[in-house]
Chain A
């Protein structure tokens, strides 16, 4: 954000103007993706290869994207929902059954990411990136144990008032439920009461619940974050004092997947894009920018050297079992969780 944000906006505006001049492009593709998540090099490579003009629009949460698409008249072709949201999109009839599993490059998808619970056999979606929520701490401020959710739930004195927590309901609730020994989708009132009380109390010790981590963690404005690993790695590259911690009590994995909207205006170009990003070299471009792993075999060798053994990306064996993919809970559980979250957010 800030200056960098302004200059990227300006650059984007210039890019838009420049590409508007090249009216010869054969078609268009409108991508609706999370902010700061798409490699511009990937886009320009696709534009050159297929002579398609790509327009990229940002959103900041699954719910924002869902609300906007449901409202209609959006003009987007592609959206990138998180794992636990994909079934909602499918159930609501918003996605095109694009059958990426029959596409040429599908053979490159890692077997691990083919039969996923949110899209068995990949009839709708293609892996974009996956990662986890963990702890990032500026070790000049605090040098104790950082492999715990206590960093943001029971913060040490040095970190009070300097913590940023991702404003993502499921990830925050998951870590907190695990912190009290509960299971995801639990309806145990004793655990949930502790979760709510803890979050309401802990929030008074946080500085913000914001997205601008890659800028404010390196600059020292945040001393600790509970955030996604790729963003913390990008912060560490700017400031080597930043260390990454895996919450031993439990941490959530995420995977965002590319899907085509049912009312897409350019479904053929969207399918080309799906196939395009399953190519290992292109998938590596995705990861090189946002610093998250992708789900494509063979993309490793095209990735920057620094990513191959980054502590944020290579999960130590002792913490591997602490991670979990969040299932979609029953509607009444979701309802209860969002009421807890509303109380926390307010």
Chain B
């Protein structure tokens, strides 16, 4: 008995060793390319800022971290919350949540529609959804600008139809950011949703109708619980890049309605405050981690959540 167990243990430990050996290149890349820069960032966030950007090496300072959330008043030297930073963080969270909800509202029916097509047609629809990815993000954002600007398609159409007399100001508002991000991230919502709706067993839906469930009940009690993994995956895929969005608020927000990405960029450029930029970047990552932890918590509470 002991011999057998020993042999099994030896085989297992060899197996483990092999696995580590085989994944070493990937681990190395992850370590060098992801953990390394993160470590540099963490280090920079604890240094004093240089006069023209950069940091003063070896000079420890908590100023960067302090000014993420607090500020010293310019004139009377009193301490207070850095309301500007908090406003920007709040705007980023709010806009990212709104984007997630909007893409979900638009993406769910789209994904459902695709999954309802005959199998041979589905791929064409999925293909159509991915077409925007062929174009650079910047170009897509400028295209959005052409649609919503005062002389743009949308306003001109509304004026032509007589709905409004003068253009509605959409550019340079939070609405512009929301529309732009929804447009850009919609495919990221549709694809995972489609993947899980496609696997949905429609006999269950039919059974629901047979038992006199209303459409809403079927949706709430049968469809949504089953496609939940796709729903959550899509929401995460949209929410996280939205939090760090940079191009969209830069082009459509007009430099006035900043989001976190722009605030960070500003610290490395005109703000000349690299430690603060590094500290905000880490704060942003912490936010993402918290969002993911909440997801994992919820998922495990619901018995894994995976269909």
In the complex, the answer to whether A346 meets B149 with C-beta atoms within 8 Å is no
In the complex, the answer to whether A67 meets B53 with C-beta atoms within 8 Å is yes
From A97-105, A178-186, A254-262, A333-341, the one touching the partner chain is A333-341
**Assembly CA distance A92 to B51 (angstroms):** 11
In the complex, the answer to whether A70 meets B52 with C-beta atoms within 8 Å is yes
- Cβ of A309 within 8 Å of any chain B Cβ, yes or no, is no
Q: Which residues of B contact A343 (CB under 8 A)?
A: 74, 84
In the complex, the answer to whether A1 meets B52 with C-beta atoms within 8 Å is no
In the complex, the answer to whether A63 meets B269 with C-beta atoms within 8 Å is yes
In the complex, the answer to whether A346 meets B53 with C-beta atoms within 8 Å is no
Q: Which residues of A contact B151 (CB under 8 A)?
A: 219-221
In the complex, the answer to whether A196 meets B74 with C-beta atoms within 8 Å is yes
From A15-23, A202-210, A296-304, the one touching the partner chain is A202-210
Q: How large is the interface on B (under 10, 10 to 19, 20 to 34, 35 or more residues)?
A: 20 to 34
- Cβ of A5 within 8 Å of any chain B Cβ, yes or no, is yes
Binding site of A, secondary structure by majority: helix, strand, loop or mixed? helix
Within 8 A of B (CB), among A31-81: 61, 63-64, 66-67, 70
**Assembly CA distance A342 to B270 (angstroms):** 9
In the complex, the answer to whether B139 meets A67 with C-beta atoms within 8 Å is no
Q: Which residues of A contact B52 (CB under 8 A)?
A: 66-67, 70, 88, 92
Q: Which residues of B contact A3 (CB under 8 A)?
A: 142, 146
**Which of B51, B139, B263, B272 is the one whose CB lies under 8 Å from A346?**
B263
Of A1, A2, A5, A92, which is in contact with the most chain B CB atoms at under 10 Å from its CB?
A2
Within 8 A of A (CB), among B44-67: 51-54
In the complex, the answer to whether A346 meets B142 with C-beta atoms within 8 Å is no
- Cβ of A193 within 8 Å of any chain B Cβ, yes or no, is yes
In the complex, the answer to whether A346 meets B87 with C-beta atoms within 8 Å is yes
**Assembly CA distance A220 to B149 (angstroms):** 11
Q: Which residues of B contact A219 (CB under 8 A)?
A: 150-151
**Assembly CA distance A209 to B255 (angstroms):** 5
- Cβ of B169 within 8 Å of any chain A Cβ, yes or no, is yes
Within 8 A of B (CB), among A218-264: 219-221
**With A61-B270, A220-B151, A221-B149 as contacts: A2 and B142 at CB distance below 8 Å:** yes
In the complex, the answer to whether A207 meets B269 with C-beta atoms within 8 Å is no
- Cβ of B132 within 8 Å of any chain A Cβ, yes or no, is no
**Which of B53, B74, B172 is the one whose CB lies under 8 Å from A70?**
B53
Q: Which residues of A contact B21 (CB under 8 A)?
A: none
In the complex, the answer to whether A208 meets B53 with C-beta atoms within 8 Å is no
**Assembly CA distance A193 to B169 (angstroms):** 32
Mask: chain B, 80-113; 1 = CB below 8 Å from A; 0 = not:
0000110110000000000000000000000000
- Cβ of A144 within 8 Å of any chain B Cβ, yes or no, is no
**Assembly CA distance A167 to B254 (angstroms):** 10
Mask: chain B, 132-172; 1 = CB below 8 Å from A; 0 = not:
00000001001001100111000000000000000001011
- Cβ of A189 within 8 Å of any chain B Cβ, yes or no, is yes
**Assembly CA distance A341 to B139 (angstroms):** 31
- Cβ of A314 within 8 Å of any chain B Cβ, yes or no, is no
In the complex, the answer to whether B255 meets A210 with C-beta atoms within 8 Å is yes
B54 to chain A, nearest CB (A): 6
List residues of B whose CB falls within 8 A of some A CB.
51-54, 74-75, 84-85, 87-88, 139, 142, 145-146, 149-151, 169, 171-172, 254-256, 258, 263, 266, 268-272
Q: Which 9 A/B pairs are nearest by Cβ-Cβ distance?
A: A208-B254, A346-B84, A209-B255, A63-B270, A67-B53, A208-B172, A221-B150, A64-B269, A63-B269
- Enumerate 26 A-B pairs (CB-CB under 8 Å) in ascending A order: A1-B142, A2-B149, A6-B142, A61-B269, A61-B270, A67-B52, A67-B53, A67-B268, A70-B52, A70-B54, A164-B254, A169-B270, A192-B75, A196-B74, A206-B256, A207-B254, A210-B255, A219-B151, A221-B151, A221-B171, A331-B51, A338-B270, A342-B84, A343-B74, A346-B87, A346-B263
List residues of A whose CB falls within 8 A of some B CB.
1-3, 5-6, 61, 63-64, 66-67, 70, 88, 92, 161, 164, 167, 169, 189, 192-193, 196, 203, 206-210, 219-221, 331, 336, 338-343, 345-346
5 new A-B contacts, CB < 8 A, other than A3-B142, A63-B53, A346-B84, are A167-B270, A207-B254, A209-B254, A219-B150, A220-B150
